[in-house]
Amino acid sequence: MSEAVEQREEEQTEEIDLEPANRVIDKFIDMPGNLMPVLQGVQDEYGYIPRIAADLIAERLNVYPSQIYGVLTFYAQFHLKPRGRFIIRVCVGTACHVQGATRIVETFYDKLGIGHAETTPDLRYTFEKVACLGACGMAPLAMVNDATYGSMTVQKVEEIINDYNQRPLKSGK
């Protein structure tokens, strides 16, 4: 493990178990071109790429930490901050926009107390505006994880939040 990793481990206020990251790295260690699969695997484990895991990957795969950061910021699929248990996406594509997506977005902001690409402190919700989700017929459209909610209204925003507030935080994984 690198100096940087160990140092950071000490600074880390919240304990991050590196065991899952090490497992992912073990699996791909001998494969050429393993950086992407390792990063994806690690993100699957933690829901995002913790800084300390990035350092660990840099050390074990012998790539520069800067290079890893370059990859992480180039691909939208990677997240550098912890993500909520429920990812709420509201479409702001043309069709949805015309059907009043802005109000839906603002209502979510209001009720959740967070903005675009932000996560609630309890890690329950992450909110994102997205471009056309390809279901313009159901505009305005929202999604929570894989569930789709069409013809959104302010009323429905509240219902969705009430519903998801009841659900358990742990994914049971």
Binding site for ligand FES (CB under 6 A): 91, 93-96, 132-136, 139, 141
Segment 26 to 55, residues that bind another protein, using CB under 8 A: 51, 54
Cβ proximity to ligand FES, 18 vs 96, nearer residue: 96
The whole-angstrom separation of Cα 12 and Cα 111 is: 31
**Burial class for 57, CB neighbours closer than 10 Å (0-12, 13-18, 19+):** buried
* Residue 10 in tokens: 């000490």
Out of 23, 31, 73, 82, which residue is the one contacting another protein (CB under 8 A)?
A: 73
| Residue 165, contacted partner among another protein, ligand FES, none, CB below 5-8 A by kind | none
When asked if residue 12 is in the footprint of another protein (CB under 8 A), the reply is: no
Give how far Cα 104 sits from Cα of 73, 124, 131, Å. Answer: 28, 19, 14
Residue type, 162: N
Cβ proximity to ligand FES, 61 vs 95, nearer residue: 95
DSSP state of 128: E
When asked if residue 7 is in the footprint of another protein (CB under 8 A), the reply is: yes
Cβ proximity to ligand FES, 4 vs 130, nearer residue: 130
Q: In this structure, are residues 20 and 45 in contact, taking their beta carbons and an 8 Å threshold?
A: yes
Q: Burial code of 113-122, b = ≥16 C-beta within 10 A, e = fewer?
A: ebeeebbeee
Size of the residue set binding another protein (CB under 8 A): 20
| Residue 114, contacted partner among ligand FES, another protein, none, CB below 5-8 A by kind | none
When asked if residue 80 is in the footprint of another protein (CB under 8 A), the reply is: yes
Radius of gyration in angstroms for the set of CA atoms belonging to the chain, rounded to a whole number: 19
| Residue 162, contacted partner among ligand FES, another protein, none, CB below 5-8 A by kind | none
